C-alpha cells in the first residue's frame, strides 16, 4: 500500500522541513544544520534537497505540502 506523505515547510525565522509518513514524523530538520548559519531565513533549499534524496522521493510522491506562513511564502516568491 502507498504511504501517505505530508511535507511541512516552516518559513519563520528558522526555516526547516518536516516529513510525515502515515501519521508518523520520519524527518525534521532546520536549514541551519545544513547551511551552518544560525537562524537561517528564507526557503530551506538544502534541507528539501536532503529529504528528497534521503527518502528517494519525487514531487509526485508528496500527497500534501503545508507551509507555516503564506505571507512569507509570497515574500520569497513561492506560492
What one-character DSSP code corresponds to residue 33? H
Residue 65 exposed, middle or buried by CB count within 10 Å (0-12, 13-18, 19+): exposed
Domain containing 33 — which CATH number?
Answer: 3.30.420.40
pLDDT for 42-68, tens place per residue? 789 899 999 999 999 999 999 999 988
The model's confidence at residue 74, banded by pLDDT at 50, 70 and 90, is low
The three cell numbers of residue 8 are 511541512
Strand partners, 10: 16
pTM higher than 0.85 for the full model? no
Q: What gap in Å lies between CA 14 and CA 16, rounded to an integer?
A: 7
Q: What gap in Å lies between CA 4 and CA 20, rounded to an integer?
A: 8
Number of domains within the chain:
1
The whole domain housing 62 covers 5-75
The model's confidence at residue 5, banded by pLDDT at 50, 70 and 90, is very high
Amino acid at each position: 500500500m502507498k504511504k501517505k506523505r505530508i511535507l511541512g515547510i516552516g518559513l519563520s525565522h528558522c526555516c526547516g522541513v518536516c516529513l510525515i509518513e502515515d501519521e508518523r514524523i520520519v524527518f525534521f530538520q532546520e536549514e541551519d544544520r545544513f547551511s551552518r548559519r544560525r537562524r537561517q531565513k528564507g526557503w530551506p533549499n538544502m534541507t528539501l534537497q536532503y529529504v528528497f534524496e534521503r527518502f528517494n522521493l519525487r514531487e509526485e510522491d508528496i500527497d500534501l505540502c503545508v507551509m507555516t506562513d503564506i505571507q512569507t511564502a509570497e515574500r520569497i516568491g513561492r506560492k
